[in-house]
Amino acid sequence: MTPPVAKVSSKATPRASRAASSAAARRRSGGSPRWGRMIGLLLVALIGLGTYALANGFGPVDDAVRGIVLPLDHQSIIRKQARAKNLDPELIAAVIYEESRFRDQTSAAGAKGLMQITPQTARFIAQKSGGSAFVLRDLATPEVNIAYGAWYLRYLRGLYDGDEILAVAAYNAGEQNVDGWVAAAGGIDSFDHTADIRFKETRDYVAGVIEHRRLYRQHYRRELGIGRD
């Protein structure tokens, strides 16, 4: 639901000064660029192995690494909001993963919290859902953030006749863009998310939610209460 965060560089320092500072830091830490690269490559390899194991259902490996490559937190809130909003809990978890990787943060565009809700969208949700006492700082609270994000997903699903793919696309790109894509495709029944979404970021976002929804359902059934009445 948010554009990529723009990185703001710190004030530049002369190249010689940066090199001297880096060398001094390495002497103090006893490290070297080579060891740093090796450790970084090892971590990437481990994460890659974990992702492959999760995708292919390897039991012993995914139990050890799933918390790193497929994090999950606030399970009770997700279950509660899934029941209240008539959504699948793994859908909520997958959207949180795509938005924030379960880290509370604020984007450059001002989107806040686990489900990266902008102030404008939060005020719309508060107005429609009766949150008369809502203030923006409430978005830092996981329960409020997830409740508002789940409400908005349900609202978008209703807007697109129950189509959750379009709801997820609109969560990322906005209703106006999705309305245009649907119209260009000839309607909801003709819409193909792999071909008719015009933004690569949104195509990747939707594909990520679809895949991670599958993985959360596969690997966190107990934690998310999947299959229980």
CATH code for the domain defined by 73-224: 1.10.530.10
Report pTM: 0.75
The span from the CA of 144 to the CA of 154, in Å, is 15
Contacts 24+ apart (CB under 8 A), 64-69: 66/219
List the domain boundaries for the chain: 16-68, 73-224
90 belongs to the catalytic site: no
The span from the CA of 66 to the CA of 219, in Å, is 8
Per-position pLDDT tens, the chain of length 229: 644 433 333 334 333 333 333 333 333 444 455 666 666 554 454 555 555 555 555 455 556 677 889 999 999 999 999 999 999 999 999 999 999 999 999 999 899 999 999 999 999 999 999 988 999 999 999 999 999 999 999 999 999 999 999 999 999 999 999 999 999 999 999 999 999 999 999 999 999 999 999 999 999 999 999 986 4
Instruction: Kindly name the residue from 90, 98, 99, 164 that is annotated as catalytic.
Output: 99
